[in-house]
Amino acid sequence: MAASFASRCSRVSRSLFGGLSNNSPGLFTTSHEMTCSNSFSQLQQQRTFIQMRTVLKVADNSGAKKVMCIQALKGKKGARLGDTIVASVKEAHPNGKVKKGKVVYGVVVRAAMQRGRCDGSEVKFDDNAVVLVDKQGQPIGTRVFGPVPHELRQKKHVKILTLAGHIA
């Protein structure tokens, strides 16, 4: 009985001493972690809608490399995954179908901002990419690179889906 009491006492005293001695490094580590998390949040940019002046990659062989969004055809805040935008070609291959400076239509096939799916889960991609289409919605290029969401089927862009290699 006495022995058990003694052991309890000693344990309490130990923990107290340990807490005292380890106090300052503990404080330091917490501050370090906090700074780390801050830097991470700065590193991970908050992703938003595709709006005017957003530069997107072109994920087909139409000849354009980069386009800048100048108008989203739907939505007040901007375009999301699967929406159509009007864009101007900023960079193009020298002998492609689409020339630099032209105004084109495009379907957003990849967006870094998450988009809700029909079952309630969400999907997001690595970058913002677009497939150039004409006014009727037919793709200008003949190939589509990279993954493409299956939601394009509901948006009546079946042609893009058939051209795509990976459907996510």
Partner 1 sequence: MRLEKCWFCSSTVYPGHGIQFVRNDAKIFRFCRSKCHKNFKMKRNPRKVKWTKAYRRVHGKDMTQDSTFEFERKRNRPERYDRNLAENVLKAIPKIEKIRVTREERHHKNRMKGKKRKIQKEATRELEQGISLVKAPLALQKDPSLTLPQKIKVSVSQQQSEDNNAMEE
Contact residues toward partner 1 (CB under 8 A) are 2-3, 6-7, 9-11, 13-14, 40, 44, 110, 114, 119-127, 146-147, 149, 165-166, 168
Rounded to a whole number of angstroms, the minimum distance from the CB of residue 52 to partner 1 is 25
Q: What is the number of alpha carbons within 13 Å of residue 76 lying toward its C-beta?
A: 0
CA dist 143 and 63 (Å) reads 11
- For residues 110 and 157, which CB has a smaller minimum distance to partner 1 in the complex? 110
CA dist 6 and 97 (Å) reads 87
104 Cα distance to chain centroid? 23
- For residues 105 and 152, which CB has a smaller minimum distance to partner 1 in the complex? 152
Longest dimension (CA), the chain: 93
Rounded to a whole number of angstroms, the minimum distance from the CB of residue 35 to partner 1 is 14
Rounded to a whole number of angstroms, the minimum distance from the CB of residue 59 to partner 1 is 10
Rounded to a whole number of angstroms, the minimum distance from the CB of residue 31 to partner 1 is 18
Residue type, 107: V
- For residues 6 and 52, which CB has a smaller minimum distance to partner 1 in the complex? 6
Tell me how long the chain is.
168
